Amino acid sequence: MADEKEVARVIATPAAKELINKLRAEHGDVLFHQSGGCCDGSAPMMFPQSEFMVGSSDVKLGTLAGVPFYMSESQFEYWQHTQLIIDVVPGNGGMFSLERPSGLRFLTRSRLFDDDENGWLAVHPVQRADA
């Protein structure tokens, strides 16, 4: 039952975890920010933590393979009823995203939470990035 265990707002496929671990080994501390812009097609972007400033209007959805995952609070309003599933597909990542040279890119898939999961999430709000 969903109220007995934590419901993850964001998860990663095994292929995504493999690329995340490779990029962490290469770049050190990194973070994800879910792009909401037109140019990157709403792609999850990975940046060195030292080079990306998470804003006061960002929320933390969770952690993937030790990497924090953020998105803007306004964008979260649209996605709050879905679990984000971070995957990897062939292609070029966002212009500044760390996976770009790999020939792979991160991709966000989603599924709707069920009623039990939504009930658990209602009493466990997302963390503000500045908290």
pLDDT at 5: 84
91: DSSP letter: S
Going by CATH, does the domain composed of 9-123 fall within 2.60.300? yes
Per-residue pLDDT tens digits for 10-56:
999 999 999 999 999 999 999 999 977 655 456 899 999 999 999 99
Per-residue pLDDT tens digits for 80-125:
999 999 999 998 877 789 998 899 999 999 999 999 999 999 999 9
**What residues does each domain of the chain span?**
9-123
Average pLDDT over residues 50-71: 95
Who has greater pLDDT, 131 or 14? 14
DSSP code per residue over 8-72? -SEEE-HHHHHHHHHHHHHHSSEEEEE--STTTTT-EEEEEGGG----TTEEEEEEETTEEEEEE
1 pLDDT band (50/70/90 cuts)? very low
pTM over the 0.85 mark:
yes
Rounded CA separation 105/123 (Å): 34
pLDDT at 128: 86
pLDDT at 3: 43
